[in-house]
Structure 1
Amino acid sequence: MLLSIVTPFYNEEEAIDAFFSRLTGLLDRTLPAYDFEFVCVDDGSRDRTLEILKARAAADARVRVVELARNFGKEAALTAGLTVARGDAVIPIDADLQDPPEIIPEMVRLWADEGYDVVEARRADRSSDTWLKRFSAESFYKLNNAIAETPIPENTGDFRLMSRRVVDVINALPERQRFMKGIFAWVGFRRARVEFVREQRVAGSTKWNKWRLWNLALEGITSFSTWPLRVWTYVGAAIAGLAFLYGLILIVSTLIGGRSVPGYASLMSAILFMGGVQLIGIGILGEYLGRTYLETKQRPVFVIREIYGRGEGGQQEAAHGGAPGGAGQT
């Protein structure tokens, strides 16, 4: 049986040697009955990442390198890797090795021996992350799971094992704006969980700044919930109720105490408050409208420039375009 290890790479030249050294030694030692392929997706790296990966593919027939035409982002790179992977089970894992590959044998056992289609890796300890990152991640999971129809398991990333039929379902989904953690949860299937302690990066630095993490959180919330749209009905009803109550108070006070001179400060506060509320509502509508606009274009999630490595029959494979389900590949 074939296991596919799928890894997106973006400016990870310092981590490549440690990544392959740790994984190949571990997998050859602990899972000798399985064949492996390493699907390495270069997401438009600007350093020597692609060059080093191509050298790996030339030296090891198990390594296949997918070169994207530009930087499409991690979600698109992961989608490309799942599309190209041929394994009976597929294991996405990051190149920084913060998710320890030592739990892969247990994941494979739960899949092969106990019949689970998905084996999630849950971070039992995130002390290696900063306080701000831990707090923001916890807040996102709580908010998302409170409003989304399909909750995302807390402290689970992309690192997991998925059976072939799960991967086929994910590849068949037509949506272009992809939040992979939500998609992994949405497809369902029988699931197990393995816990681990998150480690420090083996080399290099993270490519996720606060702004990108914020945009990813917005992507997740708007991809799997319409609650941000629905809530403005209740906000409007509440403000209308307060306005009606305030109008009654003004009428009663005028009948009892006579006419009062309206205050400039209170008037401006009301105008600015209502203007801000309306702009927030319009912004949320724009977020959903923008997502609809991007989906209607039907552009592929990624474009593959080339695939390096030996495919079936020992021939080098190549691809010049890509979309969910492998459209555009040759």
Structure 2
Amino acid sequence: METVSVIVPCFNEQETIPIYIKEMNKVMETLSDYPFEIVFIDDGSNDRTLDCIKSIHQKDGRYHYLSFSRNFGKEAAIYAGLQNVKGDYVAIMDVDLQDPPSLLVDMLHILKTEDIDNVATRRSTRKGESMIRSFLSRCFYKFINVISSVQIVNGARDFRLMKRSMVNAILMMSERNRFSKGLFEWVGFKTHWIEFENIQRSSGQTKWSLKQLFFYSLEGISSFSVQPLFLAFLLCGLLFSICIISIFYSFSISLFFLLNAFQFLCMGILGYYISKMYIEIKHRPIYIVKERSEENE
């Protein structure tokens, strides 16, 4: 019998977990012909998230958990989930109900009846999101799709349901600097997209600050494009040409400072890529599991 696994990354979500459980139980009742395993990945929470998950696991064996030794980030949580689930169909979704569990019913039906490997979701609107977040998000998707050969759908969510073959392909890529939205597209496979309007969190506040989103966007750009390095090369060539010309002509002091700024920019771009290489070659584990549900059975 085909099984369904659901990966649910969690970081300080003690308020949202009980609400999520109620909605997920409704889905499993609707899809009662399919055995489910729901795996919570506790990403080093410092509230009662792990206690909530443990309590749920004791009452319902379909719910499992992995608990990290510290906060390794959502990307590490997704990877840990993919490594540890066993289902023929694997879903990734947030616990705050911004990814509606009820969509899993339609997603599984589409995956079973159409010649596709992956049902993914995207937000058709950003209603309720701040203007600055919406603007920066649109800029990011436009920019990365210009400089990268991997095209990422605007508004794409991590929420998706995949066949085992696609999951196995993703697991073949074990890099430390991960950007799952890009990895999902890079491996290929046929994708069906479902759109839904932006949904506010069921409880609590978002864990993603603008600073974190900025560095996450840099992660995506550096993971799937070397165009910034090419840009740095062009800028260095331009600076060299200007320096040669300046030997014969007099330039203002402001131009001197501008040239130095460009040089530091190029050094910064090169340094960022080198730092990513440094992290990769150390081969440290992507995550460390402190505790798992199977150990307490």
**Unmatched segments (≥5 aa) in structure 1:** 251-261, 317-330
The 5 A counterparts of 1:108-127 are 108-127=108-127
Aligned position for 1:4: 5
TM-score by length of 1: 0.86
Q: Give the CA deviation at 1:91.
A: 0.7
Q: Is the 8 A contact 1:122 1:194 kept in 2?
A: yes
Q: Is the 8 A contact 1:100 1:196 kept in 2?
A: no
Q: Give the CA deviation at 1:237.
A: 3.3
Q: Is the 8 A contact 1:99 1:198 kept in 2?
A: no
Question: Match of 1:11, SS?
Answer: coil
Q: Is the 8 A contact 2:7 2:82 kept in 1?
A: yes
Q: Do structure 1's residue 307 and structure 2's residue 278 form an aligned pair?
A: no
Deviations 1:38-73 (A, max 9, x none): 110000000000001001011101011111111101
Q: 2:255 corresponds to which letter in structure 1? A: A
Q: Give the CA deviation at 1:23.
A: 1.3
Aligned position for 2:262: 277
Aligned position for 2:26: 25
Aligned position for 2:271: 286
Question: Match of 2:4, SS?
Answer: strand
Q: Is the 8 A contact 1:7 1:92 kept in 2?
A: yes
The 5 A counterparts of 1:43-192 are 43-192=43-192
Q: Give the CA deviation at 1:115.
A: 3.0
Q: Give the CA deviation at 1:234.
A: 2.1
Aligned position for 1:15: 16
Deviations 1:143-163 (A, max 9, x none): 000001211111111001111
Aligned position for 1:326: none
Q: Is the 8 A contact 1:150 1:224 kept in 2?
A: yes
Aligned position for 2:34: 34
Q: 2:15 corresponds to which letter in structure 1? A: E
**Sequence identity (%):** 36
Q: 1:190 corresponds to which letter in structure 2? A: K
Q: Give the CA deviation at 1:232.
A: 1.9
Q: Is the 8 A contact 2:232 2:266 kept in 1?
A: yes
Deviations 1:277-307 (A, max 9, x none): 1111111111000000100011111111121
Q: Is the 8 A contact 2:68 2:287 kept in 1?
A: yes
Larger CA deviation: 233-242 vs 140-149: 233-242
Distance 1:203 1:135 in 2: 24
Distance 1:73 1:267 in 2: 47
Q: Is the 8 A contact 1:58 1:309 kept in 2?
A: no
Distance 1:160 1:200 in 2: 18
Question: Match of 2:124, SS?
Answer: strand
Q: Is the 8 A contact 1:63 1:309 kept in 2?
A: no
Q: Is the 8 A contact 1:119 1:194 kept in 2?
A: yes
Larger Rg: 1
Distance 1:174 1:53 in 2: 28
Give the alignment's Cα RMSD to 1 decimal.
Answer: 1.7
Deviations 1:241-284 (A, max 9, x none): 55566666x4xxxxxxxxxxx6xxx5421221111111111111
Aligned position for 1:327: none
TM-score by length of 2: 0.95
Q: 1:52 corresponds to which letter in structure 2? A: C
Deviations 1:122-150 (A, max 9, x none): 11121121111111111000000000121
Distance 1:62 1:12 in 2: 19
Q: 1:204 corresponds to which letter in structure 2? A: G
Q: 1:195 corresponds to which letter in structure 2? A: E
Deviations 1:58-91 (A, max 9, x none): 1101011111111101110111111111110111
Q: 2:65 corresponds to which letter in structure 1? A: V
The number of residues matched between the two structures is 296
Distance 1:90 1:194 in 2: 17
Larger CA deviation: 236-245 vs 178-187: 236-245
Q: Give the CA deviation at 1:7.
A: 0.5
Q: 1:38 corresponds to which letter in structure 2? A: I
Q: Is the 8 A contact 1:90 1:164 kept in 2?
A: yes
**Unmatched segments (≥5 aa) in structure 2:** none
Distance 2:130 2:234 in 1: 36
